[in-house]
Amino acid sequence: MSYMFEVCYRAPADLKKESALTQRVAALGGRLDFREETNGKMDSVCLTYEFDSYDSALKAANALREQGEHVEGPADYGG
């Protein structure tokens, strides 16, 4: 079973920010699984990160929240 959370931020896309977030998440045991960018209908960019354990996902989500990021989850990734 795997776990995930989403980090969403207001468009436009900021690849430097995304790289920093992904590095931070990777250091906490996660990996970028999906990236959804604005397509004219959405005004945000959402990054989905996947983890092997709920504890790791929760720790990473809380760390990003402490930095002021908007994090939804963690939740079971439907496995």
pLDDT of residue 37: 81
pLDDT digits (tens, 9 = 90+) for 7-32: 999 988 999 999 999 999 999 999 99
pLDDT of residue 1: 83
Please indicate whether residue 21 or residue 37 has the higher confidence score (pLDDT).
21
* CATH code (residue 57): 3.30.70.2690
CB atoms within 10 A of CB 3: 23
Residues 6+ apart with CB under 8 A from 75: 3, 4, 5
Number of domains in the chain: 1
pLDDT digits (tens, 9 = 90+) for 46-77: 999 999 999 999 999 999 999 999 999 999 97
Full domain range(s) for residue 60: 3-76
Strand residue runs (E) in 28-69: 31-36, 44-51
